[in-house]
Chains A and B, each alone.
Chain A
């Protein structure tokens, strides 16, 4: 691998982390979770759309103490 390719990989890795940190990839994580945990079951909850999921997710982020002094 050339130095440039390694650098590019590093940058992409960092970008991935930033997406994780900001919750930008929350929907993808949810879809993965849904596929992994609910695929086989008969009474699986329906897969939410991106918009529905975001509402649900954002509201659940603000239920408890998550900001401090």
Chain B
């Protein structure tokens, strides 16, 4: 290709990108084609990857393709293995992309499609993808050290401890909110509940198959499992029509929450091969398959987005969660734009497979762009629904009332057309008894996906598509729940091991039981409160999760900025410094509002005081009065938790700034811990065969 042709090509990409962004930003019509979203995303990603990421890799990080990576130097044939870049990309993407990028955009759609979409695009190319790539690079240069170890080595022990505690807290809150999402998807839905329940024995069967029956035949076993999962989706529909059987799977939220808590404990205690590992294979296959299918369906169908660009809820009165556009859209959408959790994968896990530094841009930056694209698809799936339907599904009973007529009247009063008949028809199409107040994002995403799939691949199967989508979300939510509980257990064992060494033995049963129990009790508590909260719980837990996740991202960016400055690259340290400043602004102002706001739907203390006053005045109905003391305690606990997270964040930031101060005043510093150069001996095509 000639130089001029390439130049013209990039001008065309830029032109199309600008046109697409203007189209979605300026559209004030009834609806807009989802293709504009796809076009805007594709052009922005292409330009960012080709120019910004390439510049960072070449000029800021100066990746060196001749330098041996830890995978090569420490190759042990087991976890350190130089691996083909596409395979590493697949592993990395499967590890970073969980349910987060599906749920966040769905919730943030209450502001309209525009704020969330712009943040997903801009946040990913300037923030999230940069964070993932630089963290991957720095960890690769440091023998695949974890984020916590790098924070300790490069900034100081405080930074290291903060990263560790932050990770632990995110884990607890994340699992609780994900558990809540699954509970809300299964509540009084025998079809969904039986399908999700069936995934447990299926995973165990797959586990036996690859452990004992045909050891190591991962692919065979997974294909068998995926076939059984599809059968379980169809079988759930059959169960739903059996008067006897359906009763067994028709449960209140609270009983389902207890079941999830018991399951979580069991999953953390049994060996990984029985449940966790096989479930993970299934969820990875289903996840990749569904994401590809959704992309194809959107391109074939080119659905219309019906949500307005901006709704009146930018003023903070939104039904799904309270709080203004700034800062809450930026913490509601973490995964998909920037997610601190990724830094844990990009350090420690992925560098052990990386064969060549030259692949860092593709794996670190590229995989995040793909996750961002998943978030865009989730945004499309949420906004193709009529806004009235979207709000009917996602508004908690505590906001719109528990009777269908009241809910519809309330939603109509906001200016969104929807009728009781329409909702009933939709519920019956989807094979559910009701779709009102199904908070958490999973059901509305499933309705959106089912309507896209239904239109693209046959409308007669709407109910099957809906429950397929629910199974798809539930299976990897449960994988995250299992894996997270186990990681939390290891971290706790590690911490307790410092006090009493025996507790640190990961296979000592009393320690396993105790630490698993503590971790499950931690997230189980928040899950329990979320279920009994008439406002749905998601409105409290999701912002808390967002703050925690952005705090971890800020810690990762602190570490990266600190290393860049210590390496004498102050002039280009803005690549992580600017996203860091933005995250600090967003996280601190969100935390500030969650703590001090007088709005009872935003401020934790305000909500606690309001409820306490109502309880004292005796104006609460009996059932609400019964749970009020627990809710009051929880709101206060959440407030203190927020204070703790934001203090932790600022401690790390100040610690990093102190390192910079010492650097510029030429005082002694902790040295860079980069491993010295060794030339690679891997021939280029050795790993690329």
Query: Which residues of A does B touch, CB under 8 Å?
Result: 17-24, 26-27, 29-30, 33-34, 37, 50-51, 53-69
Contacts and interface: CB of A to CB of B under 8 A. Distances in A.
Given A20-B84, A58-B277, A61-B277, A66 B216 contact: no
A16 to B, nearest CB: 9
A35 B561 CA distance: 43
Contacts of A33: 75-77, 81
B622 to A, nearest CB: 38
Contacts of A59: 272-273
B78 A60 contact: yes
Contacts of B545: 69
Nearest to B171: A65
A55 B174 CA distance: 30
A27 B77 CA distance: 9
Nearest to B484: A67
A17 B100 CA distance: 27
Contacts of B335: 68-69
B98 A69 contact: yes
A65 B480 CA distance: 10
A45 B321 CA distance: 58
Contacts of A19: 219
A29 to B, nearest CB: 7
Contacts of A22: 218-219, 222, 281
What 6 pairs between A and B have smallest CB-CB spacing? A33-B77, A69-B100, A51-B215, A67-B483, A54-B216, A24-B219
A52 B73 CA distance: 25
B487 A65 contact: yes
A69 B91 contact: no
A69 B549 contact: yes
Given A18-B219, A24-B218, A68-B345, 13 more contacts: A19-B219, A20-B83, A30-B78, A56-B78, A61-B79, A62-B272, A62-B486, A64-B348, A64-B490, A65-B345, A68-B95, A69-B174, A69-B334
Nearest to A56: B78
Interface stretch (B28-36, B336-344, B418-426, B651-659): B336-344
B366 to A, nearest CB: 16
A15 to B, nearest CB: 9
A58 to B, nearest CB: 5
A55 B211 contact: yes
A55 B215 CA distance: 9
Contacts of B84: 17, 20
B77 A67 contact: no
Contacts of A23: 218
26 contacts: A17-B86, A18-B219, A19-B219, A20-B84, A23-B218, A33-B76, A33-B77, A33-B81, A37-B75, A37-B77, A50-B215, A56-B78, A58-B272, A59-B272, A61-B79, A62-B272, A63-B490, A65-B344, A65-B348, A66-B95, A66-B349, A67-B479, A68-B342, A68-B345, A69-B334, A69-B341
Contacts of B86: 17, 21
Nearest to B506: A63
A27 B75 CA distance: 15
B458 to A, nearest CB: 27
B349 A55 contact: no
Given A22-B218, A54-B215, A62-B276, A68 B344 contact: yes
Nearest to A69: B100
B146 interface: yes
A24 B339 CA distance: 30
A58 B222 CA distance: 15
B97 A68 contact: yes
B99 interface: yes
B224 interface: no
B210 interface: yes
Contacts of A56: 78
B250 interface: no
Interface residues on B, range: 35 or more
A8 to B, nearest CB: 17
A43 B271 CA distance: 31
Nearest to B346: A68
B90 A68 contact: no
A56 B79 CA distance: 11
B87 interface: yes
Contacts of A69: 98-100, 174, 178, 334-335, 339, 341, 480, 545, 549
A39 B204 CA distance: 37
Contact of A67 (B79, B219, B281, B480): B480
Contact of B77 (A17, A30, A50, A68): A30
A49 B212 CA distance: 13
B339 A55 contact: no
B96 interface: yes
A59 to B, nearest CB: 7
Contact of B349 (A18, A30, A64): A64
A54 B545 CA distance: 36
A69 to B, nearest CB: 4
A34 B77 contact: yes
Nearest to B278: A58
B219 A64 contact: no
A59 B184 CA distance: 33
Interface string B314-354: 00000000000000000000110001011011001100000
Contacts of A50: 215-216
A52 to B, nearest CB: 9
A17 B216 contact: no
Contacts of B342: 68
Contacts of B90: 21
A50 to B, nearest CB: 5
A59 B349 CA distance: 14
B357 interface: no
A21 B339 contact: no
A30 to B, nearest CB: 5
B478 to A, nearest CB: 11
B473 interface: no
B502 interface: no
B359 interface: no
A53 B211 CA distance: 10
Contacts of A34: 77
A35 B433 CA distance: 61
Contacts of B77: 29-30, 33-34, 37
Interface string B265-289: 0000000110011001100000000
B217 interface: yes
Contacts of B219: 18-19, 22, 24
